[in-house]
Structure 1
Amino acid sequence: MPEVMLVEDDADLRQATAETLELAGFRVHAFDAAAPALDVLRPDFPGVILSDLRMPGLSGLDFLDRARGVAPDVPFVLITAHGDVPAAIRAMRGGAHDFLEKPCAPELMLDVLKRAQAMRDLHLENARLRQIRIEDRLIGRSAAMQDLRQRLRALAGLQLDLLIAGETGTGKELVARILHDLSPRGEGPFVAINCGALSEPEVDRELFGTSDAPGLIARAEGGTLYLDELESMPDGLQVRLLRVVESREITPLGAAPRPVDLRILGSVKRPPDVLTAEGRLRADLFHRFNATLPLPSLREREDDAALLVTHFAAEAAARHDLPKPHIDSVLRRRIAYHDWPGNVREARNLAERLVIGLDTDFPTPGPGGETAGMGYDAAMEGFEARLLRSALIQTGGRKAEAAALLGIPRKRLYLRLRHLDML
């Protein structure tokens, strides 16, 4: 439930405002002066402050100044008479979230407070995530994940622009958020932009903003800008983005260029050198990033697949208030030998289906299936890999029995498994 600390010395107005807020679903803590409100204000107060400007004792401006010292992240909204607007503007410069003029329409007041509460909720959620251990956010016992977590801890505190490279579903945005949360900019905003969804006609307004309204880049001021799927951005947009990465400067429509203070993280689905060779990622943009952080696919993560499915199944069971599913030995073997083309996202979806009782069969190729458009050698290797994997599943991973089932010498099985990177 959203909460409001209401400070108003006029008893009738205080009661009427409190009733309006309570009818809108707010929990109201009402005070007739700033001093008693300050006595109970704490840094972790989950709501917003709504205060009159002119009050006996501490004024609204004095209250704002002291509240900022006690709870700097709690949004503060002032109510002011028309003649006090200059004072309210000074309060905005001093850290107030917004101000309302008397008489104020209830709809406007509720709209301002709801937006302030949404901002407060986001800040508290970000603080909660920062307190969660990195091991609980990036799950996995494999050597690849241990190495990734170690690298994130080392890189998070450095003012480096990083390019995160990984297949679909490997957790690129999660890694970007962890880098942000663990950095000195963790208290600032994290703004994610889906580069594939940007259209050139509106991109200037959307990215760079106008003289009146900030764009997405400016909203990341003091925090982190995350550019997802950079390779899907048209070449013309990559050129315009190049200056931002290089000089930390934007030019809003109808305004002069201005600097921006932010860290930039990007992501691509394939190795960036391959994308530059194909002309999908500009080499000059790629080389503006200080380093590339590759993410391992799930098939490279040893036994992490079963661990992830079990973890996601427990989460889904709690979310749906259903019992945790039993993952038997047959399903565990299928999980172990599955290719996981959708990576962690696919594991999460499988766990969800397990919990709610939907079909949990792994995808099988249809006519032409996954071999469509592949060369002969690649298609044959894909068929062989599925054949060997099926034999291993049937024999519980016992390679001698799998070789016997396939009618080939054990040494040949080992050689083919090594050739197909299945050992």
Structure 2
Amino acid sequence: MPEVMLVEDDTDLRQATAETLELAGFRVHLFGAATPALEALRPDFAGVILSDLRMPGLSGLDFLDRAREVAPEVPFILITAHGDVPAAIRAMRGGAHDFLEKPCAPELMLDVLRRAQAMRDLHLENARLRQTRIEDRLIGRSAVMQDLRQRLRALAGLQLDLLIAGETGTGKEKAARILHDLSPRGDGPFVAINCGALSEAEVDRELFGTTDTPGLIARAQGGTLYLDELESMPDGLQVRLLRVVEAREITPLGAAPRPVDLRILGSVKRPPDALVTAGQLRADLFHRFNATLPMPPLREREDDAALLVAHFAGEAAARHDLPKIHIDSALRRRIAYHDWPGNVREARNLAERLVIGLDTSFPTPGGGTETVNMGYDDAMDAFESRLLRSALIQTGGRKTEAAALLGVPRKRLYLRLRHHGML
């Protein structure tokens, strides 16, 4: 739920604004002055501050200065009277997120607050990801994965433009996000562009923007620009991208060239040299990147496939509220033999199918296929668990009614609930 710290000394206006926010789904913390609000503010506050400018004691501007010291990442929005607009503009230069002029339409206020909350949510998510160990984000015990994680740590802090090469599903974007999160630019934006989805007709507006609307490249200012499937970008667009990579400069429609401060990461599905030879990737663009980071396919990662299937199966079981599956020796053999053309993404999908009880086919050494499923007992357990949960949901958790709905004695229902850990 989005949160707002509302600071307003006018009692009637404070209450009316709070009611509007609560009806829109916000959790509101009310303060009649800046000093108690400042005392309650913490750096990890997950919401937004909405404060009046003119208040007795600490003014809105004073509150802004103090709030920036205590919680610099919390968006701060000022409410101003018409004559205070110049002061509000000065406050924005000093770090305020936005300002609203009295009287303010509720729709405008809610829109500004929601956009500020979205920015705060993104910052908190990025902070959470940066604190997640790289071993938990790129899973694998094989030597090639240990080497990859070590290279990512070493490259993250360097201002290098990198090309990430790997087959579909090897985790190229995940590697790019790790490079961003562990870099000095980690607090900045991470903007991913699917180059295969760009049309030459709209590329100027989409990539470079206009005088009024920033394009995707400009939105990566201070952060990282990730160009996915670079080889799918038409040759003419690759030429235009050269200027960005080489000179860190863009030219929006109808505007003069302007500099951009960002790091550029790209990805390709095949070795870059082969793409250059095939004419899919311009040599001059390829050579603008400082280095290439290869992503290993799953078939070359020793026993990582079974480890990944078990990990993703655990996640799927928790997500669907289903029992965990047992990966027996027969399934391990099939996993070890499989080539994994879809790599890690295929392992995740397979684990999902196993957990929900769908049959899964693997190729056999003789050229045929072998169907692997959860086994009769596991499949029946999963079915019964779903049935019990559905009955409890329909009856609001009332077990006597659930037993009647299922047509079983209440004692038997309790036994089966206990078997599935629902009691």
Could you state the TM-score of these two structures normalised by the residue count of structure 1? 0.86
2:127 corresponding residue in structure 1? 127
- Which amino acid in 1 is paired with 2:80? T
Asked whether 1:221 is paired with 2:221, we answer yes
- Deviation larger for 352-361 or 130-139: 352-361
Asked whether 1:12 is paired with 2:12, we answer yes
Partner SS for 2:222: coil
1:187 corresponding residue in structure 2? 187
**C-alpha deviation, 1:23, in angstroms:** 1.4
- Which amino acid in 1 is paired with 2:307? L
- Which amino acid in 2 is paired with 1:243? R
Q: Deviations over 1:346-390 (max 9, x none)?
A: 00000111111112223x6xxxxxxxxxxxxxxxxxxxx943898
Does the 8 Å contact 1:153/1:182 carry over to 2?
yes
Instruction: Report the Cα distance in structure 1 between the residues aligned to 2:108 and 2:329, rounded to whole angstroms.
Output: 59
Instruction: Report the Cα distance in structure 2 between the residues aligned to 1:168 and 1:349, rounded to whole angstroms.
Output: 14
Does the 8 Å contact 2:361/2:369 carry over to 1?
no
Asked whether 1:243 is paired with 2:243, we answer yes
2:346 corresponding residue in structure 1? 346
Match runs of 1:46-195 below 5 Å: 46-195=46-195
Instruction: Report the Cα distance in structure 2 between the residues aligned to 1:59 and 1:279, rounded to whole angstroms.
Output: 63
1:39 corresponding residue in structure 2? 39
Partner SS for 1:100: strand
Instruction: Report the Cα distance in structure 1 between the residues aligned to 2:149 and 2:368, rounded to whole angstroms.
Output: 30
2:335 corresponding residue in structure 1? 335
Unaligned stretches of 5+ in structure 1?
365-384, 394-423
Does the 8 Å contact 1:161/1:264 carry over to 2?
yes
Does the 8 Å contact 1:337/1:389 carry over to 2?
no
Identity %: 89
**C-alpha deviation, 1:61, in angstroms:** 1.4
The number of residues matched between the two structures is: 371
- Which amino acid in 1 is paired with 2:221? E
- Which amino acid in 2 is paired with 1:387? G
Partner SS for 2:175: helix
**C-alpha deviation, 1:110, in angstroms:** 1.1
2:286 corresponding residue in structure 1? 286
1:197 corresponding residue in structure 2? 197
Instruction: Report the Cα distance in structure 1 between the residues aligned to 2:65 and 2:352, rounded to whole angstroms.
Output: 49
- Which amino acid in 1 is paired with 2:201? P
Instruction: Report the Cα distance in structure 1 between the residues aligned to 2:202 and 2:368, rounded to whole angstroms.
Output: 49
Partner SS for 1:196: helix
- Which amino acid in 2 is paired with 1:3? E
1:408 corresponding residue in structure 2? none
1:317 corresponding residue in structure 2? 317
1:403 corresponding residue in structure 2? none
Asked whether 1:387 is paired with 2:345, we answer no
Q: CA RMSD in A?
A: 1.5
- Which amino acid in 1 is paired with 2:358? L
Partner SS for 1:387: coil
Asked whether 1:206 is paired with 2:220, we answer no
- Which amino acid in 2 is paired with 1:83? G
- Which amino acid in 2 is paired with 1:209? G
Instruction: Report the Cα distance in structure 2 between the residues aligned to 1:76 and 1:358, rounded to whole angstroms.
Output: 50
Instruction: Report the Cα distance in structure 1 between the residues aligned to 2:14 and 2:238, rounded to whole angstroms.
Output: 54
- Which amino acid in 2 is paired with 1:349? N
Instruction: Report the Cα distance in structure 2 between the residues aligned to 1:293 and 1:324, rounded to whole angstroms.
Output: 35
**C-alpha deviation, 1:314, in angstroms:** 0.3
Instruction: Report the Cα distance in structure 2 between the residues aligned to 1:388 and 1:255, rounded to whole angstroms.
Output: 61
Could you state the TM-score of these two structures normalised by the residue count of structure 2? 0.86
Unaligned stretches of 5+ in structure 2?
373-423
Partner SS for 1:77: strand
Does the 8 Å contact 2:196/2:229 carry over to 1?
yes
Partner SS for 1:45: coil
Instruction: Report the Cα distance in structure 2 between the residues aligned to 1:55 and 1:240, rounded to whole angstroms.
Output: 52
Q: Deviations over 1:9-43 (max 9, x none)?
A: 10000011111111111111111111111111111
Instruction: Report the Cα distance in structure 1 between the residues aligned to 2:98 and 2:342, rounded to whole angstroms.
Output: 44
Q: Cα gap change, 1:354/1:390 in structure 2, threshold over 3 Å: closer, same or farther?
A: closer
Q: Deviations over 1:247-277 (max 9, x none)?
A: 0011111111111110000000000000000
Does the 8 Å contact 1:230/1:267 carry over to 2?
yes
- Which amino acid in 1 is paired with 2:154? A
Instruction: Report the Cα distance in structure 1 between the residues aligned to 2:15 and 2:83, rounded to whole angstroms.
Output: 24
Q: Deviations over 1:325-349 (max 9, x none)?
A: 1212111110011000000000000
- Which amino acid in 2 is paired with 1:315? E
Does the 8 Å contact 1:205/1:215 carry over to 2?
yes
Structure 1's consecutive aligned runs of 4 or more residues displaced over 4 angstroms after TM superposition are 388-391
Q: Cα gap change, 1:53/1:254 in structure 2, threshold over 3 Å: closer, same or farther?
A: same
Q: Deviations over 1:137-157 (max 9, x none)?
A: 000000110000010011000
